[in-house]
Structure formats: C-alpha cells, structure tokens
Structure 1
Amino acid sequence: MKKVLIIGSGAREHALAQTFLRSEQVTTVIVAPGNDGMTDAGLECVTISATNLLGLRDLAISESVDLTFVGNEEPLTLGIVDIFEAAELPIFGPSKVAAQLEGSKSFTKNLLQKYAIPTAKSVTVETLEHATEILQAFGLPIVFKLDGLALGKGVTILTDPIVASTYLTDLYTKDPATKLVIEEYLEGVEFSIFSLVGKNGIVTHAPLAQDHKRRFDQNRGPNTGGMGAYSPVRWISDDIKNRAITELVEPAISALTKEGTPFAGVLYTGVMLTQEGPKVIEFNVRFGDPEAQVVLPQYSGDFYDLISQLMIGQTPTVRWQNTDVYVGVVLVAAGYPQAPVKGAVVPTVDAVTPLIINFAGVKNGVANGGRVATVVAHDISATLAQKSVYNKINLLDTSLEYRHDIAYQAVNHEEN
C-alpha cells in the first residue's frame, strides 16, 4: 500500500490529502506541516516547515514515501523538486527554473511576449521615474504586479491618478530596488484552468473554476488570497475553454520546453476572456486556494493512479464528475486580510453532516490565521449548490466571517 507526502499547511493541502485518501491504494497521507484541523483517518501532520527542503527530503526518505505532491508555491520556487529528484524521490511539481512562471512576473511576461501568447501589454520597471513614465503612458485603470511571490495578494488595480502616484512613491520609498510589472487593465470575464502536466508533455485538464478575490460581497474591499470559488464554470462554453487551452496553455508548455526548462506538475492559468479573445492574466505552478477545494472533490477516479501515470509519461484515464456544481465558501477571522484576529472557535466537522470542510489557519481548535476553513457543498445547479453551502454554514456555531454571494455569476447565468 502507498504513502503520500503533501507539502503545505492550508485548506488546499487538506483537500489534496482527502483526494489521495480516496484511493484504495493509499493508506497514509502525511502533510507537512499541516494544521490542527486535519484530523481525517489516515492523515498525519508532521511539523516540518514547507521551506525546510532538506528536512522534507529526509522525511520522505525515513517514511519511505511513495509520492510527494507539493501544494504550496514557495518550496517549488526554492527548488524542492530539484532536491527530491537528486535523491531519486518521486515528486510531482516543476523544477526551480520552471517554477519562475509563478516566482517571477517578469520571467512570465518575457516568455509570453517572446512566443506571442496573448496577454496584457506590460513593462517591467525598477525605478520610480520609469514607473511614473509608464503610468502616464498606459493611463487608467492600471495594474501593478510585484515581481516575486506575494501569496496571491501581489496585484493592485488602481483607477485614481493620485492614488496610483502615491502607491508608486510609497513602494519605492520603502524599497528603491523594487521590481514591478505594470500592465494595461483588461476588461472581461476571469476564469481558471488547472492543467496536470506529466513527463513528455502529457497533459490533462481539470474542470474550469472561478474564484472570488475581494473581501466583501459585491466584490468590494481589498484583494485577498481568495474568499470562495465554484466549479465547473458551465456558462463558459467548451469552444472558449478549448480556445484558451490551445492558444494559451499548450503554447506556454511548449515554450518552456523550447527554452530548455520543461514543465511538470500543476499549471494554473488565470484567463481573462476579453473582446479580442482569451488572454493570460497570470500563471501559477500549483493548485489555487480556494479553487482546489471545489475542483479536487470532483475527481471520481483514483487520483494516485492519475498522478503516477502522468509522472511516467503515460496518457491517463481521467474521471471527472459532470453532473454537479461545487461551491466553496472561505471562513475567515475578523479583520482579515489586514489584521486577522486570532482565537475564534473553529467549527467541527461533526457539527453538520454531511459536510465537506477543509481547514487552514487552525491551532488548538481556534483560528490562528486569516483564512481558517473552506466549506463546500454541491448540487445539480449552481443555484442549489449555493443555497446548500450557506444552509450548512448557518448551522455552524462560529463567529468566523465570510462572503454571502460566492458563485453569484453562475447563479445569475442560470436565472437569466
């Protein structure tokens, strides 16, 4: 029987662990470091940091792990795959160089421009003077992207010239060496494609997802790591999905191979459907959070088999459900994202049955971070799934906060 190691600590990693545990081959899933909310049978948490690459390698060796799956982006950009492969340990994820797709916005924009993959017009700047010049040239609204990792919160969209100028001044006052990607603002509909990429370019795609970044209902408030998501996105046609795959995803994978840095692992393509067609907003090199929580429960086959087949370059037999819509709502601590308040009581799985819940910032039964848990429900339509998830949340005894309109786009399309 098989043992799997998941690297990371959030709700995404909890969802990954649950998905692997559904395999009849998998008896144990170790999550490092995990969190105190992960109490599923067969799941073990080991308090090794996701950035302790050598410690994780040694853990995989000592525990005779059959497969390691990296949930978190930081160890990928630090080169954990290279370290595991040097030790001949099976691991699913991109190399350090290929992980620059997420680790460096400028690397990605240069790749997209070189291979003429549709994306927003952009310029990378490293001084306040250059940034101010590009701001004036591009006009408003305008998008600022910090070059490195920012835990999903490195993007700022501004519409006021004074606010934009102040943003740049503050940024370069704090760090004159800041590397910033400035992009034109794209109008359109946003959605996410998750592609599982194996050896020799073998690739398969998960159902589309759409997440909700803004903190409050009606997309108000600051950007967050994600307040909820739903999948599949039925109102995006198969033609649009296939066009995004053939014009954006496949050319990016091919481009990396041509650059001598072939990609393997999870490729997350953030897509904006504009009047000119689909364009790349960003690439990530792992499952999104909270998208993973609504995508992974849809896999009805053996996920261990799927990943194992991809890793040896074998075309897998994939089994995604096609009857229901899954809606996930993120429960957060008061004050999130600016100053989350710790200590709120976290609801238990037994409180509502049946309940799909994935835990994130939990320690000793209370909230220990910003995003604390994701509650997921599914039904034959987005309207019914949305009602179901909020009915379940209403039964939970918790002071944690959440948005009340997750999946509103899909519901609107069903009602109109």
Structure 2
Amino acid sequence: MTKILIVGNGGRESALGLKFLQSAQVDTVYVAPGNAGMPKLGLQPVAIKLDDFAGLITFAQAHTVALTFIGPEVPLAAGIVDAFEAAGQPVFGPTQAAAQLEASKAFAKDFMHRHGLPTAKSQTIHSLAAGQAVLQEWGIPLVFKANGLAAGKGVIVAMTNADAEAAVAALYARDAGATVVVEEYLVGEEASLLALYHHGTYVALPLAQDHKRRFDHGAGPNTGGMGAIAPAPQFSADQKEAARHLLVQTIAGMNNDGLAGCGVLYMGLMFTADGPKILEYNLRFGDPETQVLLPQIQNDFYQLLVDLLADRPTPLQLNGRTYVGIVAAHPEYPGGAMNPLPLAELPSNWPIERWLPAGVSEQDDRLYSHGGRIFTVIGSGADLPSAQADAYAAMAQVQGPLAIRQDIGDKALTRSK
C-alpha cells in the first residue's frame, strides 16, 4: 500500500489528508508537523518542523513515502521542492523559482505584464516618498501590497487619503527600503481558480470564493480566510471560460520563462466590467478554498496526481454538490494574545469530513485552540442555500467560545439571483 507525506499543519492539510485517504491505493497519510486534531481524521502527525528539509526528506526515505505534497507557501518559497528533488524523493509542488510568483508581488506583476495578462495598473515603489508621490499622482482608492509572503494579510485597501497615507507610513515604518506594489482599485466580483498542473498539462477545479475580511459584510482587517464556497454560482459559463483562458496563458508563460514543473496554480481573479483580471498568484492550495473544493472531486486523488505527473491528465469527475466552509477563529484573531480556549466536543455521529482542524493543540486529553484559525466546518447541499444552512447548523453544535462570520455565501446568493 501507498504512504503519503503532507507538509503543513492547517485546515488545508486536513482536507488534503482526508482526500488522499479516500484513495483505495493509500493506507497511511503522515502530516508534518500536523496538529492535535488530525488523529480524529485518521491522519498521523509527525513532529518535524516545516523548515527542517533534511528531517522531512529523511523521514520520507525511511518510511518509503510514495509522494510528498507541500501545503503552505513558506517552505515552497524557501526551496523545499528543490531539496526533495535533489534527494531523489517524489514531491508535488513548485520549485523555488516558480514559487516567486507568490513570494514576490513585484515578480508576479512583471510576469503578468511580460505575457500580456490582464491585471490592475501598478507601480512598484521602494520608499515612503515614492509612495506619497503615487498617492498624489493617482489619488484614491489605492491598494498596497507588501512584496513578500504575508499569510494572506499583506494587502491594504485604502479608500480615503488618510487611509492611504497611514498605509504607506506603516509599510515603511517597518522597513525604510521595502518593496511595495501599489495598484489601482478594481471593482467587480472576486473568485479563485485553482488548478493542478505539470508542465503544459493541467486539471482545473471549479471557481471558489474566499471571504478574507474578519467581520461580516467585508468589514475589518484581512485574515487568512474566514470561509469559502464552491462552486460559486454567480459566474456565467462565459466568465468561467475566460478565467480558464487566463490559466492556460499563465501556464504557457511559466513554461516559456523556465518556471515549469508541477504543483497547484491559484489565480485570484476580479471579474470586472472589462472581463477577469488577475489580482495575484499563489503556488499552492488556498485555505479555506481547499476545504470546499476537494470534497467535490470523485476521482481517486492519488491516481489523479500520478496521471498528471505522467502527462496524461484525467478528466475531473465532480459530484455536483455545493460546499460551504466556515472558519472558527479565536475571538482575538487576527491580533491580540489569542490565549488557548477549550474546544467543544464533536458530536459522535458526525461525518468525518465535516470538521477540519487547523490551530488545535491537546492537553490532558482535551483539545484547545492554538493560534488564530482553529478549524473549518463544512456544509454541503444540492445548491448554495442548502449548503449554507447545513454549514451553519453544524457550526452551531461546535462553535463554543470561538468567533465566526455569519455571512459566508451571502454575497454569492445575492449576485446569483
């Protein structure tokens, strides 16, 4: 039987682990470092840190792991795939060179412009004075993006002059020579298109929609994601095809620029009046999009990857259901002390795939919160209203002292009417 190693510790990795375990070929899924809630899903946490590449490679070799799947962006940007490939260990994820499309906003913008891909007008700046000059020239609203990895929290949308001035000052207070991408503010409907790829071949997943802001109706600071829906019903067939075309162009551009390989390509899109424009790239599965995308897939997920890596992509088989994922977060998230809170007991009759742990620790046989985003609860249904109702009914049973958004999916319902 086949053994899989997943690198990561969040809800995304919980969803991936469950999907691999559904394969008749897979009997063991290790997750490094994992979290204390994962054994409830049949996954085996391994106490190896994300940045311990040598330790991860040694573990994979010693346990005859057939494939290592890299979840989060930080080890990808640091070159974990290159290290595994150098050791001759099968690994699914982009090289360090390709991961720059996520790790550097400036690199990604240059890539988009070079390949004629539609995106927001932008300017890359390196000083406070340059930021103030752009504000004077362009006016508001503006979007400021820290150049490096920021766990989904590096984007500041400034709707007033005061907000823009404060954003520029804050970015350069941390680093006087920081690289910052300033963009025009795009108006439209956001969505995420994710695809598994290998060189020029790919398997595209349905459009998903993340909910980044901490509070209802898009208020408050950006987070790593407070919930997601998939498929997103408000987008037409023409819009989906336009998004797929951008995916094909992006993969062709990667191959042309020597960034080929394998992994997950995530395009953050804004569907404007002029068509879809690319907001950003990620080179890994999104969290919480993964939690609502993978349950739709009926294919043997391990075999799907094996076939893709052999350049014979298998058509995706979907179950036709809609999924809503609600993230339960610490009340202090994304700031504050976030001291551990006891978690509610799971109902004994719950389907295993309904609760996907992330920031979970264990003490005296009791699970506690650990960090900001604690777990995702998944609801499903024949359509979005029924999936939303299912998700919130389930969350009510396990929310306990944690915080949630009450409007995951509301915008899609309004727009799709």
The answer to whether TM tops 0.5 is yes
Give how far 1:257 is off. Answer: 1.1
Residue matched to 2:330:
333
After superposition, the Cα gap between the structure-2 partners of 1:345 and 1:280, relative to the gap in structure 1 and judged at 3 Å, is same
Contact 2:31 2:44 in 1 (8 A): yes
Contact 2:140 2:160 in 1 (8 A): yes
Between the aligned partners of 1:410 and 1:187, the Cα distance in structure 2 is 16
> Is 2:361 aligned against 1:363?
yes
Residue matched to 2:319:
321
Letter in structure 2 aligned against 1:408: D
Give the secondary structure class of the aligned counterpart of 1:404: coil
Between the aligned partners of 2:409 and 2:35, the Cα distance in structure 1 is 27
Cα deviation 1:129-174 (Å, max 9, x = unaligned): 1111112222111000000000000000011112211221232233
Residue matched to 2:152:
152
Between the aligned partners of 1:340 and 1:252, the Cα distance in structure 2 is 41
Give how far 1:351 is off. Answer: 4.9
More off after superposition, 53-62 vs 17-26: 53-62
Between the aligned partners of 1:4 and 1:168, the Cα distance in structure 2 is 44
Residue matched to 1:342:
339
| Structure 1 stretches lacking a partner, 5+ long | none
Letter in structure 2 aligned against 1:176: A
Kindly report which structure 2 residues correspond to 1:16-415, keeping only aligned pairs within 5 A, or say none. 16-40=16-40, 42-198=42-198, 200-246=199-245, 248-322=246-320, 324-351=321-348, 353-354=350-351, 356-364=354-362, 365-396=367-398, 398-413=400-415
Give the secondary structure class of the aligned counterpart of 1:321: coil
Contact 1:344 1:398 in 2 (8 A): no
Between the aligned partners of 2:147 and 2:403, the Cα distance in structure 1 is 31
Contact 1:213 1:224 in 2 (8 A): yes
After superposition, the Cα gap between the structure-2 partners of 1:173 and 1:102, relative to the gap in structure 1 and judged at 3 Å, is same
Give how far 1:256 is off. Answer: 1.4
| TM-score normalised to structure 2 length | 0.96
Cα deviation 1:260-312 (Å, max 9, x = unaligned): 22142100000100011100000000111011000011111100000111112
Contact 1:333 1:370 in 2 (8 A): yes
Give how far 1:125 is off. Answer: 0.7
Contact 1:27 1:42 in 2 (8 A): no
Count of residues in correspondence between the two structures: 412
After superposition, the Cα gap between the structure-2 partners of 1:66 and 1:130, relative to the gap in structure 1 and judged at 3 Å, is same
Contact 1:193 1:205 in 2 (8 A): yes
| TM-score normalised to structure 1 length | 0.96
Residue matched to 2:2:
2
Between the aligned partners of 1:209 and 1:188, the Cα distance in structure 2 is 15
Letter in structure 2 aligned against 1:273: F
Between the aligned partners of 1:397 and 1:235, the Cα distance in structure 2 is 29
Between the aligned partners of 2:238 and 2:255, the Cα distance in structure 1 is 26
Letter in structure 1 aligned against 2:202: V
Kindly report structure 1 stretches of 4+ aligned residues shifted beyond 4 Å: none
Cα deviation 1:32-86 (Å, max 9, x = unaligned): 0000010146421011111211211111111110001111111111111111111
| Structure 2 stretches lacking a partner, 5+ long | none
Contact 1:206 1:320 in 2 (8 A): no
Give how far 1:188 is off. Answer: 0.3
Give how far 1:201 is off. Answer: 1.1
Between the aligned partners of 1:411 and 1:371, the Cα distance in structure 2 is 25
Give the secondary structure class of the aligned counterpart of 2:404: coil
Between the aligned partners of 1:171 and 1:66, the Cα distance in structure 2 is 43
Between the aligned partners of 1:313 and 1:385, the Cα distance in structure 2 is 35
Give how far 1:413 is off. Answer: 4.1
Between the aligned partners of 2:390 and 2:139, the Cα distance in structure 1 is 43
Give the secondary structure class of the aligned counterpart of 1:166: helix
Between the aligned partners of 1:137 and 1:111, the Cα distance in structure 2 is 25
After superposition, the Cα gap between the structure-2 partners of 1:157 and 1:413, relative to the gap in structure 1 and judged at 3 Å, is closer
Give the secondary structure class of the aligned counterpart of 2:31: strand
Give the secondary structure class of the aligned counterpart of 1:337: coil
More off after superposition, 356-365 vs 166-175: 166-175
Give how far 1:177 is off. Answer: 1.8
Letter in structure 2 aligned against 1:411: L
More off after superposition, 168-177 vs 106-115: 168-177
Cα deviation 1:190-239 (Å, max 9, x = unaligned): 000011102x4110101110010111111111111100000001221121
Between the aligned partners of 1:413 and 1:140, the Cα distance in structure 2 is 26
Between the aligned partners of 2:404 and 2:361, the Cα distance in structure 1 is 20
Between the aligned partners of 1:403 and 1:269, the Cα distance in structure 2 is 24
